[in-house]
Amino acid sequence: MVDPIPEDPPLEIRPRRLVLGLGNPGPDYAGTRHNVGFAVLDLLVSRHGLTWESGPESLVATLPPAPGSEDPGVVLAKPLTFMNRSGRALRGLARKLKLEGPEQFFVITDDIHLPLGGLRLRATGSTGGHNGLASIEEAAGSRDYPRLRFGVDSPSGGGADLVDFVLNTFSPAEQAVLEDSLDQASFALEDWAHGLPFEELQARYNRRKPQAES
């Protein structure tokens, strides 16, 4: 009697994950401080030769897995719901991708509490008064999700000047710092997507004052 050929064991595929860049849709908001989350994802998509596809409430692209990995890839998304309703887009994407918990999505957003180009990776934290993060936290039912805060500086006057400040573009003098930090942030997202442990991400990319490093 010929022994039966044993079947290969089933592959253990990690669930698909999500990177959500926060911003406002439309040309009026392109290049503004509030849209650095979009800008980082645009850079990552361009570097890999990907294209954005229109979904119900988001533009989406899929970052392929690292060579040799059995991971199904990570979905990149730019919500079309406007900043203060970012959680609505998250809920729809979480259902579609069958995300199992907040640790499976990663958010990148602007932060007026950091100097221009500062990067701060956190595994949890408060909203810091950010409407986009407040919407995400409400939708997720948790504050324990990884996020990257990208420093956009703050207006010297504060208060009433804040809304105009974050909805304005960067000055020519800020471009060198901005472009370097956008590049670093895009690699941080890629490393997270490819499974680099979060503590290593923090050690590699957290920086408060990139100006001092130039």
- Amino acid (one-letter) located at 50: L
Tell me the C-alpha distance between 154 and 165, whole Å.
7
Phi, psi of 212 (to 5 degrees): -75, -15
- Of 2, 36, 5, nearest to 21 by C-alpha is 36
Known active-site residue 34: yes
| 8 A C-beta contact, residue 163 and residue 111 | no
Q: What tokens were used for 19?
A: 């990177």
Catalytic center residues: 34
